[in-house]
Structure 1
Amino acid sequence: MNLEPIKTCRNCNSDQLSTIMSVGEQYIAAYTPKDTEPEPVLDKFPLELIRCKASNCGLVQLRHSTPSDILYERYFYRSGINKTMTDNLNEIAIQAMSKVELNENDIVLDIGCNDGTLLKNYKTKKLRVVGIDPAKNMAQFSKETGANIIVDYFNEKSFVKHYGNEKAKIITSIAMFYDLEEPNQFISDIVNILDNNGVWVIELKYLPTMIFQNAFDNIVHEHIEYYHFSVIENMLKKHSLKAIDVLLNDSNGGSIRVFVKHSNQPIDVESEKHLAEVRDSEAAMNLNTDKPYEEFLQRCEKLRDDTISFIKKEVNAGKKIHAYGASTKGNTILQYYGLDDNLIDAIADRNPDKWYRKTIGTNLKIISEEESRS
């Protein structure tokens, strides 16, 4: 499928867009379906990472946008299956509640609520709990929480349709703010439904950590933008919002959690320290220059070349090679490296639902850890 490249930045509309790296055209689906499942989309879509070089911006983003209906209307990742993610979402809800004064019947909203794992943390409170998510197959799980689930993409209109002029005291958008074609419109919609004393919590993968870890496998079709904190702060300022606290964590390989309020709200002393630490750390990385991105590309290319060379050497020596982890990120690596069943015998995964499928585009049989070790 041919996708038109963007001509201007998704944040500031500048046309000063520079390529960081490309991992080529890649399949969206990671593995083949079972007999009862629908066929995945087997078109390839480009994955090219670019940076806006406008002085007041610096947003890192994809050059192409994959149609959202292909990405989200059936979505197979479930937060509640992963204990680490469940614990992370529990922590987010607890911290969000600590940032506001909640009253009976207040609205708490999770955007991109997935299977409702975060929403469960509000069950003991006398609150109106709301989740919005376009994935129809996730609604059966999220509705079990007792929350009001709106199966739709979030915007002000979809919220107002159900709640009129009422405002939300807590809004969370976890691992989804970087999936937006129009992030400023999203922020504008948040402003209009956020209570004057409310808090909006954003958590997403953190660009500086991705660069430090050489984690090019974070470049996937659903994640359109790759944020560092200074970009987020500048965007918030345009909408009369501000970060009142920021925390870094290990979720999804390294994430940033930003607590946002209307610009007239106070910031406590401890939170000011957190904000200053992240700002200083980013300033030291010179993220507004080409250098960190050029070095990132060089390291990723060396990793690719060294890995391919090692695997070919071992195969030529008569060794069998197994990969581990049949994930979307794993298949990004396999496709970028050009590794398939000519070099790798199988790929092990602990999730039994994936066993006996094959990775798409690389044709590796997925087996259990036990079978891989035998």
Structure 2
Amino acid sequence: GAGLTACSQSPAVEPGERAVESSKLKEEEDWKVIYIQDQRIGYEHRQRRMEDQSGKKVIHTQNDSYLKFKRFGQALNLEVHLQTTETAEGELLSYSYQMKNPPAGSTISRGVVKDGQLHIETDIANQASNTQLKWKADYYSPSYLERAFRESPLQPGEKKSFSMLLPEFSKITEVNLVALEYEPVEIPGGIQEKCLHIKMKQSLLPGMTTDLYVDQQGEIIKSATDFLGAKMYLYQASKAQALEELSGRELDLAMQTLIPVSPLSAAHDTEQVVYQISMQQDDPAKYLVAGDTQQVKRLGADRVELTVTKAAVPVAFPAAEIDAEFVKPSPFLQSSDAGVIKHAKAAVQSETNPWQQALLMEKYVHRNLKKKNFSTA
């Protein structure tokens, strides 16, 4: 696996220049275990080293996450590797991000800040692209959050906001923090600590709240994030705890998002279906989305009526301005890939109606996709 040495040279050094020898000032590491609800699915390992380069303090951080779970019965092993180089104040100099999600190809992005721009090189399924992102001096590195509370502690009732890079999106997100009260927190091993509870929200992830629990040394020893109708927890742990073998009964993230129902005998000819859904000591309305084709009606504190309506077939397709970011290739749809283009053309043939094109592609995939994997979809 990638180690801290992989980012030991400063990416701020230009090609052709000789890197200045740097003396190691500090090196530290920490481990976390990752749970979904009460089931452990992996671990996170972070290493950090501070160097003095030409009289300037620079921090190198290596963060490696390993998760094991299932989707529709298929075992998946997900790895995420992030390397950052930043100033002691948290300003990003460069980063490297990689997500391994076999059998899908790796997603890799690298970025260097230069002349007020973050120059990003991305490789998705062997399709390379280059983009630039306007960069401001007060944008933070994605690794900054882990040390933010040591350097600038919050007190109950205080708020803090800053902007940082989310490398998986290659975009800037605004982070909003609200400190609540001190609470007792228990981590694996039965250790209990008094921690400040901090609510975190991000502009790029609307509707998602992360609860951070920060000890009196400014370390995040526990976090909890909404995740597919459940909670993902990260707990500070020892190396031995983090590397313990998983139970073998991997959590199926896809199945836990589904509600079993009786099959419809004529699904394609059905205009509307009404379900009644109840939960024990919970509110099902929290987990159901309302929109044009799905309405939620509350029948009680733990019971709802869900009406699902067949989408109307559009009759007109007015021209619309679409931002480039919504039609360019993504990690989930490599629309510039020769194979994707070939199959899309084979599916739609000469059809020009967008709705019919979508139906033809759906049927084409159903008929022709023989080897299915759920690593990304």
Same fold (TM over 0.5): no
Structure whose residues are more often helix by fraction: 1
Higher normalized contact order (CA 8 Å, seq sep 6+, divided by chain length): 1
TM-score of the aligned structures, taking structure 1 as reference length: 0.27
TM-score of the aligned structures, taking structure 2 as reference length: 0.27
Structure whose residues are more often strand by fraction: 2
State the structure with more CA Rg.
2
